[in-house]
Amino acid sequence: MSQKKWKHRAPQKAFSREERKQQILGQFDIWQGNEDTEPKTMNRIARALGMSPAQKVTDMLLELVDEGKLAFVEREKSGRWTARGYYSVVRTLIAEKFLRRQIPVRKRGVAVGQMDMFS
């Protein structure tokens, strides 16, 4: 028989509730940056963060709704229960698009370069 060597693993640090909430909001920022603004279910949010979908995740999401950082819409599943789709109320600068124009720069009537203008 072969003997297995057990490697000692350091215990993983559990995140606090506030740190988990920040991770949830950060994930919504990532989705907004990728222009994915569809409402997300609790299951999808938990899986994106490597968590198991449990009542604690739902409780944290509802706390974020109470704080005004998230909102939800209820969707009717055919022949099933109603599901909540959560979405971020906070808009980030990354999600906004800027219009960009190039303006020719002239010196004594001759074009010498271009400048970018944002609006």
Q: Any idea which fold 17-88 has?
A: Arc Repressor Mutant, subunit A (1.10.10)
Question: CB of 87 within 8 A of CB of 73?
Answer: yes
| Cα–Cα dist 46/89, whole Å | 19
Considering only CA atoms, which of 35, 33, 57, 60 is closest in space to residue 44? 57
Supply 103's token pair.
């303006």
pTM of the model: 0.63
What does each of the 119 residues of the chain score in pLDDT, given as a tens digit? 556 666 666 666 678 889 999 999 999 988 988 888 889 999 999 999 988 888 999 999 999 999 989 999 988 877 777 788 999 887 655 444 455 566 677 777 777 776 665 54
Neighbours of 13 (CB within 10 A): 7
| Cα–Cα dist 37/28, whole Å | 9
Instruction: List the domain boundaries for the chain.
Output: 17-88
Question: CB of 46 within 8 A of CB of 105?
Answer: no
